[in-house]
Amino acid sequence: MPDRMQRANNTLNAPLANLVEKLIKQFDQIPSSRKDRLTQFSRFVEDHARLGKPSQLNFICTHNSRRSHIAQLWALTAAHYYGIPGIRCYSGGTEATAFNPRAVRAMQAAGFSIHVSKEGENPVYEVQYATTADPVLVFSKTYDDPVNPTRDFAAIMTCSHADQNCPVVIGASTRIALTYDDPKDFDGTPQEEAKYKERVEEIGRELLYAFSMVKPQAK
């Protein structure tokens, strides 16, 4: 596993690879209550791998503008780093808005390569996290948008509002409340940049931990 991780890390965007190395040294900062939920996440991935099925992960937040996109991209990065195959990541909301420019800038600062693929009120972004991974197209959408899975997926609730107000996610085979504070609360304040960075790193740290707990399947 270490050799495989080293090879994967060598293909990550250089600034992102440095951040990953920093975050995996901070797993002891994750509260035990959070680790319990992250273990539930890991078991979903393990169970599907054992059955030879892909793990479909749909990260859901009310507006699909910040936390759900950040989590989707970090999950792909963590799966790549740990060499976990069959991971398909999506995001959605209870309504569609746009991938917030502040969140985009925070992810770029973390080392993700993000470019606008299609302009508009709800732009489509092309995101690259590793030289050997296909670019990911990211835009705001509802969780049941046609590009998202309709059955046998994990609904990962990344905000408490969506978790409380969307009690049933149709088609989900499991639901995990992995909620985060909204950096939007600091928009337009002197703390804005620091709070977005804090949230990006918190989500990255936790999803790296979750994938580090996935046991490789016997060949």
Strand runs labelled E in 3-128 = 55-60, 87-92, 113-118, 124-128
**What is the chain's mean pLDDT, rounded?**
92
Class of domain 2-212: alpha beta
138 pLDDT higher than 80: yes
Mean pLDDT score, 98-103: 98
pLDDT at 130 over 80: yes
Ordered by start, the domain boundaries in the chain are 2-212
Phi and psi dihedrals of 5, rounded to 5? -65, -40
Collapsing DSSP states into helix, strand and coil, what is residue 21? Answer: helix
Q: Give per-residue pLDDT as tens, 17-57.
A: 999 999 999 999 999 999 999 999 999 999 999 999 999 99
Which range is least confidently modeled, 2-6, 29-33, 90-94, 105-109?
A: 2-6
Q: List pLDDT tens digits, range 56-87.
A: 999 999 999 999 999 999 999 999 999 999 99
Q: 137 forms bridges with which residues in the sheet?
A: 126
Instruction: Report how far residue 176's alpha carbon sits from residue 117's, in angstroms, rounded to the nearest whole number.
Output: 31
Given a cut of 60, whether residue 7 has pLDDT beyond it is: no
Structure confidence by residue, pLDDT tens digits, 149-208: 999 999 999 988 776 666 678 899 999 999 999 999 999 999 999 999 999 999 999 999
Structure tokens given for 178: 């992995």
What is the per-residue pLDDT for 9? 60
**Is the model's pLDDT at 2 over the cut of 80?**
no
* Whole-number pLDDT of residue 3: 53
Identify the pLDDT of residue 169.
86
Return the pLDDT at 219.
47
CB 214 within 8 A of CB 82: yes
What is the value of pTM for the model shown?
A: 0.94
DSSP-derived secondary structure for 131-186: TTS--EEE---BTT-TTS--SSEEEEE-SHHHHHH----TTEEEEEE-----GGGG
Handedness of CA 21, 25, 115, 12 (dihedral sign): positive
Q: What per-residue confidence (pLDDT) applies to 174? A: 94
